[in-house]
């Protein structure tokens, strides 16, 4: 797994896309290593929050690997698209929160990877875009779906049809990212946020993620039913009893157990 690095620090994990020769482009090999890292953190009960970033200081991920894609047949392209989408959906539906620390170019599959994460923090020098139509293709790892859900539809269509990149301040303005930081402060800011999330009950955070995601796929009534289920299931956890005991006994320094 050398195309993706995985570091664990207490209750947080940092996944780094590491294909610097191609500005961290997502070859099949990179996607396979990313899937392995995602499965590792997903199954590690001591990891409560995850950060995804890119190696180096120039690029988060510059997209799918154009050299690998160029000669694909329709069937091979479908297989590549399905695999990229499978890995990104695993991130989106993972039982823990994922923060994208976008440290540079987030183009095509790079923007799509960031959008599969729960929260996007970016360097103030980052560049976002979906350049695919300029290559003769559509986005292939969820961009047509997630961008149109994250930002106003007309803005998503403008970004996709013009294939023009947008700079970090514009990405902040349209709500594609939550916050910008000087490049050298980005990873620390992401870690600070991840550690802040990790102080809360992990199962309650996971349940909140599931409720938001499942709710967005359905009607309000269906979403409310999902929330009732996720909310009530929390009452079967040790952390719910502990968290409420801490409040009632004025204990400030809580240590949830993910149980």
Task: Considering the complex, state which of residue 132 and residue 230 has its C-beta at the smaller distance from ligand CAA.
Answer: 132
- For residue 191, what are its two tokens? 């870690």
Nearest distance from residue 140's CB to ligand CAA, in Å?
3
Which run of H or of E encompasses 7?
strand 4-9
Active-site choice (29, 75, 132, 222):
132
CB 175 within 8 A of CB 159: no
Site residues (vs ligand CAA, CB under 6 A): 22-23, 25, 62-67, 84, 105, 107-109, 112, 131-132, 135, 139-141, 143
CA–CA distance from 51 to each of 12, 99, 127, 151, 154 (Å)?
A: 8, 5, 19, 22, 30
Alpha-carbon span 92 to 98, nearest angstrom: 8
Three-class secondary structure of residue 8 per DSSP:
strand
Nearest distance, CB of residue 156 and ligand CAA, angstroms: 14
| Closer residue to ligand CAA in complex, CB, 84/202 | 84
Beta strand pairing call for 127-129 and 166-167: antiparallel
Q: Which is nearer to ligand CAA, 64 or 204 (CB)?
A: 64
Instruction: Say how far apart CA 188 and CA 205 lie, in whole Å.
Output: 21
Name the nearest CA neighbour of 53 among 22, 17, 88: 17
**173 annotated active-site:** no
In angstroms, how far is CA 120 from the centroid of its own chain?
7
Task: Kindly state the smallest distance separating residue 65's Cβ from ligand CAA, in Å.
Answer: 5
Nearest to 110 by CA among 24, 36, 171, 213: 24
Q: Which CB sits closer to ligand CAA, 65 or 230?
A: 65
Q: Report yes or no: 153 and 129 within 8 Å, Cβ to Cβ.
A: no
Catalytic-residue membership of 185? no
Residue closest to 11 by CA, chosen among 52, 50, 45, 48? 48
Please pick, among 112, 184, 222, 227, the residue that the annotation labels catalytic. Answer: 112
- Of 143 and 202, nearer to ligand CAA (C-beta) is 143
Active site residues: 112, 132
């Amino acid at each position: 797994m050398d195309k993706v690095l995985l570091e664990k620090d207490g209750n947080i994990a940092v996944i780094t896309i590491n294909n610097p020769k191609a500005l961290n482009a997502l070859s099949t090999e990179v996607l396979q290593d990313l899937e392995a890292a995602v499965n590792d953190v997903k199954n590690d009960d001591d990891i409560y929050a995850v950060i995804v970033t890119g190696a180096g200081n120039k690029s988060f991920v510059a997209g799918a690997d154009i050299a690998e894609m160029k000669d694909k047949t329709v069937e091979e392209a479908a297989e590549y698209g399905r695999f990229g989408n499978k890995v990104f959906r695993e991130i989106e539906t993972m039982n823990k929160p994922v923060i994208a620390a976008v440290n540079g170019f987030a183009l095509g599959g790079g923007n799509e990877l960031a959008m599969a994460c729960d929260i996007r923090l970016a360097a103030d020098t980052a560049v976002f875009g979906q350049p695919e139509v300029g290559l003769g293709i559509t986005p292939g790892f969820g961009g047509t779906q997630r961008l149109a859900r994250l930002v106003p539809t007309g803005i998503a269509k403008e970004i996709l049809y013009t294939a023009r990149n947008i700079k970090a301040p514009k990405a902040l303005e349209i709500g594609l990212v939550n916050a910008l930081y000087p490049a050298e402060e980005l990873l620390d800011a992401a870690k600070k946020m991840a550690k802040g999330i990790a102080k809360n009950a992990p199962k309650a955070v996971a349940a909140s993620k599931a409720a938001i995601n499942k709710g967005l796929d359905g009607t309000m009534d269906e979403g409310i039913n999902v929330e009732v289920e996720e909310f009530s299931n929390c009452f079967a956890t040790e952390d719910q009893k502990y968290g409420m005991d801490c409040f009632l006994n004025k204990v400030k320094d809580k240590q949830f157990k993910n149980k």
